[in-house]
């Protein structure tokens, strides 16, 4: 596993490089990164946390970018289905991908104390091998781990 994600980081750079990566990927794949889609991604990147769809919608509404649920759900659908953001099923919340474009099977580490969510990436060899053996064809995985991050573990 790499990129455990609970460490401090240069957030301004983190946002701008992720945006640039997504822009490049959209250009390459002829995907339309429209203003609302782009703004939703920016919001997720800036906040750098798992956000509910209605939290995002409130921000969009305040900026005059739309106030009805379909606005945000459409943007999220675009971002998630193209791998630029992820849905955390356990939280019904959305998170910008920390390495968009790369083909990856994310693992999310959710701290129940500080609510931070870190995206890790690791080879799930156990899972692949077992599923293959059983004849199950894996198309998508949801791997979410709840617990305490290093900082909150320390504090407790």
Binding site for a second copy (CB under 8 A): 1, 4, 6, 89-90, 107, 109, 111-112, 118, 120, 122-127, 130-131, 133-150, 153
Euclidean distance between CA atoms 112 and 59, whole angstroms:
25
Residue linked to tokens 């849905």: 87
Residue 140 interacts with DNA (CB under 7 A): yes or no? no
132 CB burial (10 A radius; 0-12, 13-18, 19+): exposed
Euclidean distance between CA atoms 95 and 28, whole angstroms:
23
Partners of 51 in the beta sheet? 94
Residue among 8 and 29 whose Cβ is closer to DNA: 29
Residue among 58 and 124 whose Cβ is closer to a second copy: 124
x/- map, 94-133, Zn ion, by CB under 5 A = ---x--------x----x-xx-------------------
**Positive or negative, the Cα torsion across 65, 71, 74, 80?**
positive
Name the minimum Å distance from CB 93 to a second copy.
12
Largest CA-CA distance found in the chain, in angstroms, rounded = 52
Name the minimum Å distance from CB 44 to DNA.
13
Q: Which of these, 83, 84, 59, lies nearest to 72 by C-alpha position?
A: 59
Euclidean distance between CA atoms 43 and 84, whole angstroms:
13
Name the minimum Å distance from CB 27 to a second copy.
30
Residue 36 interacts with DNA (CB under 7 A): yes or no? yes
Q: What does the binding site for Zn ion look like in residue numbers (CB under 5 A)? A: 11, 14, 48, 97, 106, 111, 113-114, 149, 152
Q: What does the binding site for DNA look like in residue numbers (CB under 7 A)? A: 31-32, 34-37, 52-54, 66, 68-71, 73-75, 77-78, 87, 92-93
């Amino acid at each position: 596993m790499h990129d455990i994600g609970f460490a401090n980081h240069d957030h301004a750079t983190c946002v701008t490089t992720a945006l640039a990566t997504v822009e490049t990927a959209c250009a390459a794949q002829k995907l339309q990164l429209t203003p609302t889609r782009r703004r939703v991604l920016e919001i997720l990147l800036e906040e750098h946390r798992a956000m509910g769809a209605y939290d995002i919608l409130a921000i969009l509404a305040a900026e005059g970018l739309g106030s009805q649920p379909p606005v945000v759900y459409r943007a999220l659908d675009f971002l998630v289905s193209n791998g630029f953001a992820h849905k955390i099923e356990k939280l019904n919340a959305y998170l910008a991908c920390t390495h968009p474009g790369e083909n990856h099977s994310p693992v999310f580490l959710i701290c129940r104390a500080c609510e931070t969510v870190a995206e890790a990436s690791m080879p799930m060899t156990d899972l692949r091998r077992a599923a293959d053996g059983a004849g199950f064809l894996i198309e998508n995985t949801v791997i979410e781990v709840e617990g305490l991050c290093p900082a909150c573990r320390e504090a407790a």
